[in-house]
């Protein structure tokens, strides 16, 4: 059945909301009449975000400092912020490197922040989400990546953390459907953010090349499509032609609410598998070429 998740007047809580995609999403949500709270580590970045949002809309957002790795700190923030209607688990870090050259500390950091941190946020927020006063539909949205649909050179830890979110999301949807809580997983390509700017300085050439075969989007565009997807309670949210292809190629056992999209998935799955194989064969060819050099 179609579901419509209202945004106006509701409490939208965004982790990693002080920068990039999270901040762009805060702009969108406020412009649609939401009450917004942001969580991140750095107080100064949060204050800056709060100021820019006040300047743009004349409203105040709640800001909460916590490291998502610290469950108790996250719990305190969530209790302070009050019951959440739309939880956007968006925080994330990416340090690309071939596994052989990457320290295990860095691997562990990505898993701890991106995956365990998401468990912490959801576990902390869920009790209050479940007892929300209005019985209107609520949402938990998880920020994955195209690298959460296909493993990419240099992203072993990052991809593992983002693939992990999908398993979490699929299981959680079955557990929460009776509470009228709807899960979304978002799969953006490269997106212009302060995070990507940092990443580009250190990204291995092969990673650059492969990521370059996808689109580069503006954070505002990712935020808009994300909020629209949340509002229609879409389980999977993708971007651009190659993103739709990837979504079809990796539809797997994710739920699908739209009959129309389900029909497209059935119709185009052989073709998208073919395109995926061609895409992969290109990648492997480039890898062996650069290896020979
Ligand atoms: N930009 C891109 O190309 C793409 C990004 N994504 C995903 O989108 C999400 C946002 O990325 P983007 O906007 O680029 O990232 P940015 O680096 O611009 O922003 C990251 C945000 O997460 C917060 N954050 C980081 N670590 C922690 C932590 N341990 N605890 C709490 N908050 C934390 C940061 O604040 P602070 O540092 O103060 O804690 C900041 O608010 C990530 O999950 C990323 O994986 C997906 C596809 C593409
Ligand atoms: C079915 C047809 C396939 C079509 C090709 C699709 C192209 C896939 C490219 C994947 C790029 C991954 C970018 C990750 C961005 C990200 O998360 C970072 N910026 C953070 O590290």
Please indicate whether residue 184, judged by its CB atom, sits closer than 6 Å to ligand 1: no
Place of tokens 């070429």: 289
The pLDDT assigned to 264 comes to: 96
- The neighbour count for residue 188, using CB atoms within 10 Å, is 27
Please indicate whether residue 225, judged by its CB atom, sits closer than 6 Å to ligand 1: no
Is 139 designated active site?
no
Q: How far is CA 282 from CA 161, 243, 253, in A?
A: 25, 18, 27
Cα torsion at 56, 61, 66, 68 (round to 10°)?
-80
The pLDDT assigned to 135 comes to: 87
The pLDDT assigned to 47 comes to: 98
The pLDDT assigned to 293 comes to: 81
Is 162 designated active site?
yes
The pLDDT assigned to 291 comes to: 85
- Give the Å distance between the CA of 268 and the centre of ligand 1: 33
The pLDDT assigned to 240 comes to: 97
Q: Which ligand is nearest to the CA of 218?
A: 1
Q: How far is CA 37 from CA 22, 46, 60, 230, in A?
A: 11, 10, 9, 17
The pLDDT assigned to 292 comes to: 85
- Give the Å distance between the CA of 13 and the centre of ligand 1: 15
pTM higher than 0.95: yes
Contacts 24+ apart (CB under 8 A), 171-178: 172/122, 172/140, 173/235, 173/255, 176/140
The pLDDT assigned to 24 comes to: 98
Place of tokens 């990457």: 102
Alpha-carbon gap, residue 29 to 51, rounded angstroms: 16
Q: Which of 10, 116, 125, 111 is nearest to 74 (CA)?
A: 125
Tell me which residues of the chain have a pLDDT lower than 70.
none
Please indicate whether residue 249, judged by its CB atom, sits closer than 6 Å to ligand 2: yes
Q: Which two tokens stand for residue 285?
A: 């060819």
Please indicate whether residue 199, judged by its CB atom, sits closer than 6 Å to ligand 2: yes
The pLDDT assigned to 133 comes to: 86
Q: Which of 219, 86, 97 is nearest to 157 (CA)?
A: 97
Q: Which atom of ligand 2 is nearest to the CA of 248?
A: 1
């Amino acid at each position: 059945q179609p579901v419509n998740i209202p945004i106006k007047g509701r409490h939208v809580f965004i982790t990693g909301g002080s920068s990039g995609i999270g901040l762009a999403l805060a702009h969108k949500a406020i412009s649609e009449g939401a009450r917004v709270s942001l969580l991140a580590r750095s107080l100064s970045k949060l204050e800056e975000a709060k100021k820019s949002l006040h300047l743009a809309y004349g409203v105040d957002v709640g800001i909460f400092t916590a490291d998502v790795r610290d469950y108790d700190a996250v719990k305190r923030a969530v209790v302070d912020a009050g019951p959440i209607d739309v939880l956007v688990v968006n925080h994330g870090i990416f340090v690309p490197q071939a596994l052989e050259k990457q320290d295990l500390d860095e691997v562990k950091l990505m898993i701890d922040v991106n995956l365990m941190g998401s468990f912490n946020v959801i576990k902390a927020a869920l009790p209050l989400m479940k007892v929300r006063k209005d019985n209107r539909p609520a949402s938990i949205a998880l920020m994955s990546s195209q690298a959460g649909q296909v493993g990419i050179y240099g992203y072993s830890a990052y991809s593992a953390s983002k693939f992990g979110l999908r398993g979490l999301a699929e299981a959680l949807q079955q557990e929460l459907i009776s509470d009228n809580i709807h899960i979304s997983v978002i799969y953006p390509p490269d997106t212009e953010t302060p995070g990507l700017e940092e990443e580009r300085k250190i990204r291995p050439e092969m990673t650059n090349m492969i990521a370059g075969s996808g689109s580069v989007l503006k954070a505002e565009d990712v935020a808009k499509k994300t909020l629209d997807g949340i509002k229609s309670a879409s389980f999977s949210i993708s971007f651009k032609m190659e993103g739709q292809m990837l979504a079809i190629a990796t539809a797997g056992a994710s739920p699908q609410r739209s009959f129309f999209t389900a029909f497209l998935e059935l119709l185009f799955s052989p073709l998208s598998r073919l395109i995926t194989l061609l895409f992969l064969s290109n990648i492997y060819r480039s890898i062996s070429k650069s290896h020979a050099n």
